[in-house]
Protein backbone atom coordinates (compact mmCIF):
# COMPACT_ATOMS: atom_id res chain seq x y z
CA UNK A 1 0.00 0.00 0.00
CA UNK A 2 2.78 2.39 0.92
CA UNK A 3 4.66 1.58 -2.26
CA UNK A 4 1.60 2.51 -4.33
CA UNK A 5 1.31 5.87 -2.57
CA UNK A 6 4.99 6.67 -3.04
CA UNK A 7 5.11 5.41 -6.62
CA UNK A 8 5.54 8.04 -9.30
CA UNK A 9 5.13 7.71 -13.02
CA UNK A 10 8.09 8.01 -15.41
CA UNK A 11 6.43 11.07 -16.98
CA UNK A 12 6.25 12.81 -13.58
CA UNK A 13 9.90 11.99 -12.87
CA UNK A 14 10.99 13.29 -16.28
CA UNK A 15 9.08 16.56 -15.85
CA UNK A 16 10.47 16.93 -12.34
CA UNK A 17 14.02 16.66 -13.72
CA UNK A 18 13.28 19.26 -16.40
CA UNK A 19 11.80 21.70 -13.88
CA UNK A 20 14.67 21.06 -11.48
CA UNK A 21 17.22 21.72 -14.22
CA UNK A 22 15.78 25.14 -15.03
CA UNK A 23 15.30 26.23 -11.42
CA UNK A 24 18.70 24.97 -10.28
CA UNK A 25 20.50 26.82 -13.06
CA UNK A 26 18.50 30.01 -12.40
CA UNK A 27 19.20 29.92 -8.65
CA UNK A 28 22.93 29.37 -9.16
CA UNK A 29 23.15 32.25 -11.65
CA UNK A 30 20.79 34.60 -9.79
CA UNK A 31 22.15 37.37 -7.55
CA UNK A 32 22.28 36.82 -3.78
CA UNK A 33 20.54 33.42 -4.01
CA UNK A 34 23.51 32.06 -5.94
CA UNK A 35 26.23 33.92 -4.07
CA UNK A 36 29.30 32.02 -2.93
CA UNK A 37 28.47 32.77 0.68
CA UNK A 38 25.18 30.83 0.38
CA UNK A 39 25.73 27.14 1.28
CA UNK A 40 25.30 24.66 -1.55
CA UNK A 41 22.84 22.70 0.60
CA UNK A 42 20.58 25.75 0.79
CA UNK A 43 20.64 26.21 -3.00
CA UNK A 44 19.86 22.54 -3.61
CA UNK A 45 17.09 22.53 -1.00
CA UNK A 46 15.49 25.66 -2.47
CA UNK A 47 15.63 24.23 -6.00
CA UNK A 48 14.05 20.93 -4.86
CA UNK A 49 11.35 22.73 -2.87
CA UNK A 50 10.39 25.00 -5.76
CA UNK A 51 10.40 22.05 -8.16
CA UNK A 52 8.02 20.12 -5.91
CA UNK A 53 5.74 23.17 -5.96
CA UNK A 54 5.89 23.76 -9.71
CA UNK A 55 5.39 20.19 -10.97
CA UNK A 56 1.85 19.74 -9.53
CA UNK A 57 0.89 23.16 -10.87
CA UNK A 58 2.00 22.02 -14.34
CA UNK A 59 -0.11 18.86 -14.36
CA UNK A 60 -2.45 20.36 -16.97
CA UNK A 61 0.48 21.42 -19.18
CA UNK A 62 2.46 18.18 -19.18
CA UNK A 63 3.66 17.22 -22.64
CA UNK A 64 4.82 13.89 -23.95
CA UNK A 65 8.37 13.11 -22.85
CA UNK A 66 10.56 11.61 -25.59
CA UNK A 67 11.78 8.09 -24.93
CA UNK A 68 15.07 8.76 -26.72
CA UNK A 69 17.75 9.42 -24.10
CA UNK A 70 19.71 11.80 -26.36
CA UNK A 71 16.61 13.93 -27.02
CA UNK A 72 15.79 14.04 -23.31
CA UNK A 73 19.34 15.12 -22.43
CA UNK A 74 19.01 17.86 -25.06
CA UNK A 75 15.81 19.07 -23.39
CA UNK A 76 17.56 19.12 -20.01
CA UNK A 77 20.40 21.14 -21.54
CA UNK A 78 17.92 23.61 -22.99
CA UNK A 79 16.26 24.04 -19.59
CA UNK A 80 19.66 24.64 -17.99
CA UNK A 81 20.52 27.31 -20.55
CA UNK A 82 17.13 28.98 -20.07
CA UNK A 83 17.66 28.99 -16.30
CA UNK A 84 21.15 30.46 -16.61
CA UNK A 85 19.82 33.17 -18.93
CA UNK A 86 17.11 34.09 -16.42
CA UNK A 87 19.54 34.21 -13.49
CA UNK A 88 22.11 36.24 -15.38
CA UNK A 89 19.40 38.63 -16.56
CA UNK A 90 18.49 39.44 -12.96
CA UNK A 91 22.12 39.68 -11.84
CA UNK A 92 22.83 42.16 -14.64
CA UNK A 93 20.70 44.70 -12.77
CA UNK A 94 23.21 44.58 -9.91
CA UNK A 95 26.07 44.81 -12.40
CA UNK A 96 24.48 47.86 -14.03
CA UNK A 97 24.29 49.67 -10.69
CA UNK A 98 27.93 48.75 -10.00
CA UNK A 99 28.85 50.11 -13.41
CA UNK A 100 27.22 53.43 -12.54
CA UNK A 101 29.16 53.48 -9.26
CA UNK A 102 32.36 52.70 -11.17
CA UNK A 103 31.82 55.71 -13.42
CA UNK A 104 31.45 57.92 -10.35
CA UNK A 105 34.42 56.27 -8.63
CA UNK A 106 36.78 57.05 -11.49
CA UNK A 107 35.71 60.70 -11.57
CA UNK A 108 36.09 61.05 -7.79
CA UNK A 109 39.53 59.44 -7.72
CA UNK A 110 38.53 56.21 -5.96
CA UNK A 111 39.49 54.09 -8.96
CA UNK A 112 42.97 53.34 -7.62
CA UNK A 113 41.75 51.68 -4.42
CA UNK A 114 40.36 48.16 -4.64
CA UNK A 115 38.96 45.81 -2.05
CA UNK A 116 37.63 42.25 -2.19
CA UNK A 117 33.88 41.96 -2.65
CA UNK A 118 32.63 38.90 -0.71
CA UNK A 119 29.35 38.81 -2.67
CA UNK A 120 30.73 38.66 -6.21
CA UNK A 121 34.15 37.29 -5.29
CA UNK A 122 35.93 39.91 -7.40
CA UNK A 123 37.97 43.04 -6.85
CA UNK A 124 35.92 46.23 -6.64
CA UNK A 125 36.40 49.76 -5.41
CA UNK A 126 35.04 51.12 -2.17
CA UNK A 127 32.21 53.00 -3.90
CA UNK A 128 31.25 49.97 -6.00
CA UNK A 129 31.08 47.80 -2.89
CA UNK A 130 28.98 50.43 -1.12
CA UNK A 131 26.54 50.49 -4.04
CA UNK A 132 26.48 46.68 -4.06
CA UNK A 133 25.38 46.61 -0.43
CA UNK A 134 23.05 49.58 -0.99
CA UNK A 135 21.33 47.91 -3.96
CA UNK A 136 21.10 44.65 -2.00
CA UNK A 137 19.27 46.43 0.83
CA UNK A 138 16.86 48.01 -1.67
CA UNK A 139 16.37 44.59 -3.28
CA UNK A 140 15.32 43.01 0.03
CA UNK A 141 13.32 46.06 1.13
CA UNK A 142 11.11 45.80 -1.96
CA UNK A 143 10.83 41.99 -1.52
CA UNK A 144 12.87 41.46 -4.64
CA UNK A 145 13.75 37.91 -3.58
CA UNK A 146 10.03 37.10 -3.51
CA UNK A 147 9.59 38.67 -6.95
CA UNK A 148 12.50 36.65 -8.37
CA UNK A 149 11.13 33.35 -7.03
CA UNK A 150 7.63 34.24 -8.24
CA UNK A 151 9.04 35.20 -11.64
CA UNK A 152 10.91 31.89 -11.94
CA UNK A 153 7.73 29.97 -11.20
CA UNK A 154 5.73 32.08 -13.67
CA UNK A 155 8.18 31.25 -16.46
CA UNK A 156 6.68 27.76 -16.53
CA UNK A 157 3.28 29.30 -17.34
CA UNK A 158 4.83 31.07 -20.32
CA UNK A 159 7.16 28.26 -21.41
CA UNK A 160 6.27 24.86 -19.89
CA UNK A 161 9.08 22.47 -19.05
CA UNK A 162 10.34 20.60 -22.09
CA UNK A 163 9.17 23.24 -24.59
CA UNK A 164 11.98 25.78 -24.18
CA UNK A 165 13.07 27.45 -27.41
CA UNK A 166 16.57 28.91 -27.23
CA UNK A 167 15.87 31.13 -30.22
CA UNK A 168 13.59 33.22 -27.98
CA UNK A 169 16.62 34.61 -26.14
CA UNK A 170 18.42 35.61 -29.32
CA UNK A 171 20.03 39.00 -29.88
CA UNK A 172 16.83 40.68 -31.04
CA UNK A 173 15.53 40.58 -27.46
CA UNK A 174 18.73 40.53 -25.44
CA UNK A 175 20.31 43.65 -26.96
CA UNK A 176 17.45 46.02 -26.00
CA UNK A 177 17.53 44.58 -22.47
CA UNK A 178 21.28 45.25 -22.20
CA UNK A 179 20.81 48.72 -23.65
CA UNK A 180 18.16 49.60 -21.05
CA UNK A 181 20.47 48.48 -18.22
CA UNK A 182 23.35 50.55 -19.65
CA UNK A 183 21.10 53.60 -19.78
CA UNK A 184 20.05 52.95 -16.18
CA UNK A 185 23.72 52.78 -15.10
CA UNK A 186 24.45 56.13 -16.74
CA UNK A 187 21.33 57.67 -15.18
CA UNK A 188 22.42 56.54 -11.71
CA UNK A 189 25.83 58.13 -12.18
CA UNK A 190 24.59 61.25 -13.97
CA UNK A 191 24.05 63.61 -10.97
CA UNK A 192 27.47 62.97 -9.46
CA UNK A 193 29.23 62.95 -12.83
CA UNK A 194 27.63 66.28 -13.78
CA UNK A 195 28.71 67.87 -10.48
CA UNK A 196 32.23 66.47 -10.83
CA UNK A 197 32.53 67.78 -14.40
CA UNK A 198 31.53 71.23 -13.18
CA UNK A 199 34.11 70.86 -10.38
CA UNK A 200 36.81 70.02 -12.94
CA UNK A 201 35.82 73.09 -14.94
CA UNK A 202 35.96 75.29 -11.82
CA UNK A 203 39.36 73.90 -10.85
CA UNK A 204 40.65 74.58 -14.35
CA UNK A 205 39.49 78.21 -14.13
CA UNK A 206 41.07 78.56 -10.68
CA UNK A 207 44.31 77.07 -11.99
CA UNK A 208 44.42 79.62 -14.77
CA UNK A 209 43.60 82.47 -12.40
CA UNK A 210 46.00 81.46 -9.62
CA UNK A 211 48.97 79.70 -11.26
CA UNK A 212 50.72 79.31 -7.87
CA UNK A 213 47.96 76.98 -6.67
CA UNK A 214 48.67 73.28 -7.18
CA UNK A 215 45.34 72.27 -8.69
CA UNK A 216 46.31 68.59 -8.83
CA UNK A 217 46.83 68.42 -5.07
CA UNK A 218 43.81 70.55 -4.19
CA UNK A 219 41.56 68.85 -6.72
CA UNK A 220 41.55 65.39 -5.11
CA UNK A 221 39.93 66.32 -1.78
CA UNK A 222 37.63 68.85 -3.45
CA UNK A 223 36.31 66.31 -5.95
CA UNK A 224 35.88 63.67 -3.25
CA UNK A 225 33.96 66.11 -1.06
CA UNK A 226 31.74 67.30 -3.91
CA UNK A 227 31.06 63.72 -4.99
CA UNK A 228 30.09 62.57 -1.51
CA UNK A 229 27.83 65.58 -0.96
CA UNK A 230 26.03 65.04 -4.28
CA UNK A 231 25.65 61.31 -3.63
CA UNK A 232 24.18 61.98 -0.19
CA UNK A 233 21.81 64.63 -1.53
CA UNK A 234 20.59 62.44 -4.40
CA UNK A 235 20.22 59.27 -2.30
CA UNK A 236 16.40 59.49 -1.82
CA UNK A 237 15.83 59.85 -5.56
CA UNK A 238 18.38 57.09 -6.23
CA UNK A 239 16.40 54.70 -4.04
CA UNK A 240 13.21 55.37 -6.00
CA UNK A 241 15.02 55.07 -9.32
CA UNK A 242 16.72 51.77 -8.45
CA UNK A 243 13.42 50.34 -7.20
CA UNK A 244 11.83 51.23 -10.54
CA UNK A 245 14.73 49.68 -12.43
CA UNK A 246 14.34 46.43 -10.50
CA UNK A 247 10.60 46.32 -11.17
CA UNK A 248 11.03 46.87 -14.91
CA UNK A 249 13.99 44.49 -15.20
CA UNK A 250 12.16 41.57 -13.54
CA UNK A 251 9.32 42.02 -16.03
CA UNK A 252 11.71 42.35 -18.99
CA UNK A 253 13.57 39.16 -18.01
CA UNK A 254 10.33 37.14 -18.20
CA UNK A 255 9.46 38.78 -21.52
CA UNK A 256 12.62 37.27 -23.00
CA UNK A 257 10.80 33.92 -23.01
CA UNK A 258 7.48 35.10 -24.45
CA UNK A 259 6.97 33.38 -27.83
Residue 246, Cβ density class (10 Å: 0-12 exposed, 13-18 middle, ≥19 buried): buried
Question: Does position 222 have pLDDT exceeding 50, yes or no?
Answer: yes
Nearest of 62, 130, 100 to residue 192 by alpha carbon: 100
Tell me the DSSP string of 69-86.
Answer: HHHHHHHHHHHHHHHHHH
User: What integer best gives the mean pLDDT of the chain?
Assistant: 74
Spell out the residues 6+ positions from residue 148 whose beta carbon is closer than 8 angstroms to its own: 30, 33, 90, 250
pLDDT bracket for residue 5 (50, 70, 90): very low
pLDDT single digits (tens) 81-92:
878 877 887 787
Residue 30 has φ and ψ, to the nearest 5°, of -75, 155
Looking at residue 111, its pLDDT comes to: 60
Residue 124 has φ and ψ, to the nearest 5°, of -150, 155
Question: Does position 164 have pLDDT exceeding 70, yes or no?
Answer: no
Looking at residue 6, its pLDDT comes to: 41
Question: Does position 16 have pLDDT exceeding 70, yes or no?
Answer: yes
pLDDT single digits (tens) 230-254:
888 888 888 888 887 877 777 777 6
Looking at residue 2, its pLDDT comes to: 34
Q: What would the mean pLDDT of 27-46 be, rounded to a whole number? A: 78
Amino acid sequence: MLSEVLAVSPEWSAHFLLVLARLSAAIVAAPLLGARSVPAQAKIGLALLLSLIVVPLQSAQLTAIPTNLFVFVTLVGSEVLIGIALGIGVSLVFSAMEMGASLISVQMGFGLGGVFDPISGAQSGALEQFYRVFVTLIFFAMNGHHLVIRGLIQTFEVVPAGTADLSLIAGARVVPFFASLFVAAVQVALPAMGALMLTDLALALVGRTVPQLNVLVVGFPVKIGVGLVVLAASMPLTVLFISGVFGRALVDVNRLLVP
